Chains A and B, each alone.
Chain A
Amino acid sequence: MKFQQIDEYAARLRPETKASVHSGSKAGHEKRTKVLFDHFIDPDRLRRIAGDIKQHVVENLDTYLPAVEAKLRANGVHVHWAATAEAANEAVYSILQARGARRMVKAKTMVSEETELGRFLEKRGVECVETDLGEFIVQIDGDHPSHIVKPIIHKNRREIATSFERHGLGAYNDDPETITRRARVHLRHKYLEADVGLTGANFVVAESGRIVLVTNEGNSRFCLAATKCHIAMVGIEKILPRDRDLGLLLNLLARSGTGQQLTVYTEFISGPRGPAQPDGPEEMHVVFVDNGRTDVLASECRDILRCIRCGACLNVCPVYRQASGHAYRSVYPGPVGAVLSPLLAGERFPAMADLPKASSLCGACNEVCPVNIPIPDLLLRLREKGKREGSDAAAAGTPAMGGWAVMASQPFAWKAALAGGRIMNVLPTKYVPVAALQAWQSRRTLPTWRGGTFRTWLHDRRKQQSQAGSAAPRN
Chain B
Amino acid sequence: MLNHDRPPLTERRVQLMATCLCDAFYDDVARATVEVLEHLGVAVEFPEGQTCCGQPAFNGGDWAASRKVVRHTVKTFAGSVPVIVPSGSCAAMMFHGAPLEFEREADLPEVEALGRRTWELADYLVNGLGLTSWPGRYDARIAFHRSCHSRGTATGEAAQRLLESIPGVTVLPFGEGEQCCGFGGTFSVSFPTISSAMGSLKLEHIRAVQPDALVSVDMSCLMHLGGLADKEGRPIRILHLAQVLRDALRQGGLLG
Contacts and interface: CB of A to CB of B under 8 A. Distances in A.
Interface string B124-161: 00000000000000000000000011011000000000
Contacts of B179: 318, 362, 364
A319 B66 CA distance: 25
A443 B50 CA distance: 30
A440 B193 contact: no
B255 to A, nearest CB: 13
A161 interface: no
Interface string B3-34: 00000000000000010101111110011001
Nearest to A424: B24
Contacts of B27: 450, 453-454, 457
Contact of A360 (B20, B46, B54, B198): B198
A421 B186 CA distance: 19
Given A6-B194, A394-B61, A362 B69 contact: no
Nearest to B67: A405
A444 B101 contact: no
B152 A363 contact: yes
B191 A7 contact: yes
A450 B54 CA distance: 21
B180 A362 contact: yes
How many of chain A's residues touch chain B, expressed as a range? 35 or more
B231 A357 contact: no
A418 B18 CA distance: 13
A269 interface: no
Given A384-B63, A443-B231, A449 B182 contact: no
Nearest to B28: A454
Given A362-B180, A461-B34, A319 B51 contact: no
A27 B7 CA distance: 43
Given A319-B194, A444-B196, A387 B187 contact: no
B192 A442 contact: yes
A65 B31 CA distance: 60
Nearest to B190: A397
B207 interface: no
B23 A360 contact: no
Contacts, number: 217
B188 to A, nearest CB: 7
B contacts with A: majority SS: helix
B58 interface: yes
A183 interface: no
B180 A318 contact: yes
A449 B25 contact: yes
B183 interface: yes
Interface string A367-409: 1000000000100110111110000001011111110111111
Contacts of B188: 439-440
A447 B198 contact: no
Contact of B191 (A363, A387, A397, A400): A397
A322 interface: yes
Nearest to A386: B61
A367 B188 CA distance: 22
Query: Chain B CB within 10 Å — which of A6, A359, A408 has the most?
Result: A408
Contacts of B230: 444-445
B138 to A, nearest CB: 22
Given A398-B61, A408-B52, A436 B196 contact: no
B23 A452 contact: yes
B148 A364 contact: yes
Interface centre among A436, A447, A448 (most CB of B within 10 A): A447
B197 interface: yes
Contact of A446 (B149, B191, B227): B227
Nearest to A462: B46
A411 B189 contact: no
Interface of B: 18, 20, 22-27, 30-31, 34, 46, 48-52, 54, 56-63, 65-66, 68-69, 71-72, 76, 97, 100-101, 148-149, 151-152, 176, 178-180, 182-199, 201, 223-224, 226-228, 230-231
12 contacts: A7-B193, A7-B194, A8-B193, A318-B201, A380-B101, A384-B61, A436-B189, A440-B227, A444-B199, A444-B224, A449-B24, A453-B27
Given A7-B192, A398-B190, 14 more contacts: A7-B194, A318-B194, A358-B194, A359-B187, A361-B59, A401-B56, A401-B65, A405-B68, A407-B51, A408-B72, A445-B231, A447-B25, A447-B223, A454-B31
By Cβ-Cβ distance, the 7 closest A-B pairs, closest first, are A360-B184, A444-B227, A383-B61, A397-B190, A362-B180, A405-B65, A454-B27
